[in-house]
Amino acid sequence: MSGAVERRRPRTAQQFVLEELRRAITSGELRPGAPIRQDALAARLEVSRVPLREALKTLEAEGLVVHHVHRGYFVAELSLADLEEVYRIRALLETEAVVRAMALAPDGLSAALEDIQHDVERASGAGDVTAMAEANRRFHLTLVEASGMPRLVRMITTLWDATDAYRSLYYTDPDHRDQAVREHRAVLAALRAYDTDAAVRRLDDHRAHAVAALRAVLAPHED
């Protein structure tokens, strides 16, 4: 995990390890199904096995890693059915969040999303998959947080966490990055027009395109 040691460490070793593991999973450096080699990772990050084990337990509880007896930890793999279920639940919950957010119409929401969208587009143009995934996540969660419903936001965030390992598979393709940029722009246009129905439709299309692309990747492995 290149550059990990040089980053400014968070408050505790466990937080540091947790952040690095999340980054490696989100970026695709650790791909779905990949083993997590604890001794090598602890040496690389210059930490003991204790914070590493605690970070792995946290990620296991979130569904990002799995533990197999006598084999160790692995990045979680989702079946196509699992992935489609997660996205279906997201559609239901995010629709409620967006409808509520647009009813509240908090000041500065469109401007905040526009600023984040600039980051999305910079990362897309540079082919920076990690930065693209991070900015995309901020875009969507900023929108749902505007609903003012913290329990709902936590549920949606958990669903996002469950599919982080697959986001890099989608953004590796430049055409998918370009499509995501266009779809975000369409969402922003609907928000600025205060067109709730259009915003919901655009977000539905956005999720559907991601699922279709990931289906093409995952389906051949499930025959």
pTM over 0.75? The answer is: yes
Alpha-carbon distances of 126 from 23, 139, 167, 171, 186, rounded to whole Å? 18, 18, 17, 12, 22
Quote the pLDDT of residue 89. Answer: 97
Q: How many CA atoms lie within 13 A of 71 on its CB side?
A: 11
Quote the pLDDT of residue 4. Answer: 46
Tokens in use for 66?
Answer: 């799995």
Quote the pLDDT of residue 6. Answer: 47
Could you tell me which residues are beta bridge partners of residue 74? 35, 66
Per-residue pLDDT of the chain (223 residues; tens, 9 = 90+): 544 444 554 478 888 998 889 888 877 788 888 999 999 999 999 999 999 999 999 988 877 899 999 899 999 888 889 899 999 999 999 999 999 999 999 899 999 999 999 999 999 999 998 899 899 999 999 999 999 999 999 999 989 988 887 887 888 899 999 999 999 999 999 999 999 999 999 999 999 999 999 888 776 555 5
